[in-house]
């Protein structure tokens, strides 16, 4: 079945460090791919998305590229800030509003 695999964390980085959170997926067909972020005490909110192969989603300095050949959608940011501390969820949608699958979430802690 469809699934999303991401590193569990926690990931601890110093401010201004480079961030990579890996995400791979298995799906029938060609899914849309998403990164959601959950700040403490809040629900999930969309960070970025890509809907077809080789698309790059970007927002707030974060980027992820849809790689069909490696079935991956890794999240990157060149210089993290303390305010980026949150839990990051990779997700896929393989074909309809009912078919969203989330990863386990990766907790990121950025220290000054």
Compare residues 43 and 112 and give the one whose CB is closer to another protein: 43
Complete DSSP assignment for 23-38: EEEE-SS--EEEEEEE
Residue 103 contacts residue 91 (beta carbons within 8 Å) = yes
Preceding amide of 89 cis, omega within 30 = no
Report the SS3 class of residue 6. strand
Residue 3 beta carbon to another protein: minimum distance, rounded to whole angstroms: 9
Q: Which residues are at the interface with another protein (CB under 8 A)?
A: 4, 8, 31-32, 34, 36, 41-46, 49, 51, 89, 93-105
Compare residues 17 and 87 and give the one whose CB is closer to another protein: 87
Q: Where would I find the H helices in 1-112?
A: none
Compare residues 86 and 94 and give the one whose CB is closer to another protein: 94
Residue 86 beta carbon to another protein: minimum distance, rounded to whole angstroms: 13
């Amino acid at each position: 079945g469809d699934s999303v695999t991401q590193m569990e964390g926690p990931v601890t980085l110093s401010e201004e460090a480079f961030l990579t959170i890996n995400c791979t997926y298995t799906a029938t067909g060609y899914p849309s791919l998403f990164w959601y972020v959950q700040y403490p005490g809040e629900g999930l909110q969309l960070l970025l998305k890509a809907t077809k192969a080789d698309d790059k989603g970007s927002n707030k300095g974060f980027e992820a590229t849809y790689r069909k050949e490696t079935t991956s959608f890794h999240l990157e940011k060149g210089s993290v800030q303390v305010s980026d501390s949150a839990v990051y969820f990779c997700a896929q949608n393989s074909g309809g509003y009912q078919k969203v699958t989330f990863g386990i979430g990766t907790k990121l802690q950025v220290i000054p």
